[in-house]
Amino acid sequence: MKRSETAKRIADELAECGVKLVASLPDNWISELITHLEGDARFTHVPVNREESAIGLCAGAYMGGQGSVALMGASGFMTCIYAITKINYSYEVPLLLLMTLRGSFGDHHKHHISNGLYLQPVLQAIDLPYTIVSRADELGAIGRAYRHSRTFSRPTAVLLARELLR
């Protein structure tokens, strides 16, 4: 599947959940997805200055009854542990995180070795439920993760693999 088609499928999944606000900070793997979401009238896209700002924005949107998603790279997520554990865990605020599975097989960038080593262990350490999506026919996981975050009253994450975003 072409990246543009994958981006459209992800957008459709998000819209189906009721997501209106997309807060993002880019990663090369999701640049096309971000461009697509920016131009999709179903969403308000807010580029943020740092990933923690996306966590704050999405928490506020939730308190106003609006669906949202925080979209970021793996490195960005690693900067958000404070915001997530403070806001989302302390107040039990749901959140859908969409992020890249950087540092996994097929990622040739050496500066993502740290993400390959520590991204999933960090998610596990803070008991943040996540699933990995490698193929387009697994994209229904986005809706399941969104709905589970509402049931769970905490964040859930979908990690987008290289094979999906290639």
Partner 1 sequence: MKYVDCFRFLAGRRTDELVITSAGNSGQAWWAATRDSERSFYLDASMSLSTMFASGLAAALPKKRIWAFMGDGAFCMNPGMLMVERQMNLPNLTHFLVSNRAYGATSNARLPNSTSNDYAAIARGCGLTRIHGFTNLAELERGFDAAVGKSATGHTMVVLEVEPFSDEEQKLEQPPFDGPEMKYRFARAIERETGVSVIGYRL
| Interacting span for partner 1 (CB under 8 A) from 1-9, 83-91, 110-118, 135-143 | 83-91
Taking the least distance from each CB to partner 1, the nearer of 112 and 154 is: 154
Kindly state whether residue 35 participates in binding partner 1, applying the rule CB under 8 A.
Answer: no
CA-CA-CA-CA torsion sign (28, 48, 159, 2): negative
C-alpha distances out from residue 68 to 4, 59, 74, 123, Å:
21, 9, 19, 20
Say which residue the tokens 């302390």 belong to. Answer: 90
Taking the least distance from each CB to partner 1, the nearer of 5 and 92 is: 92
Q: How far is the CB of 165 from partner 1 (least distance, A)?
A: 25
| Interacting span for partner 1 (CB under 8 A) from 2-10, 50-58, 109-117, 121-129 | 50-58
Q: For residue 130, what are the contacts with CB-CB under 8 A and spacing of at least 6?
A: 120, 123, 145, 156, 157, 158, 159
Rounded Cα gap, residues 62 and 23, in angstroms = 13
Amino acid, single-letter form, for residue 66: Q
Site string for partner 1, 121-160 (x = CB under 8 A): -----------------------------x--x-------
Kindly state whether residue 68 participates in binding partner 1, applying the rule CB under 8 A.
Answer: yes
Residues 99-128 within binding reach of partner 1 (CB under 8 A): none
Within the chain, strands assigned E span 19-24, 44-47, 67-72, 95-100, 130-133, 155-160
Q: How far is the CB of 148 from partner 1 (least distance, A)?
A: 13
Q: Would you tell me which residues interact with partner 1 (CB under 8 A)?
A: 20-21, 44, 46-50, 52-53, 55-66, 68, 82-83, 86-87, 89-93, 150, 153
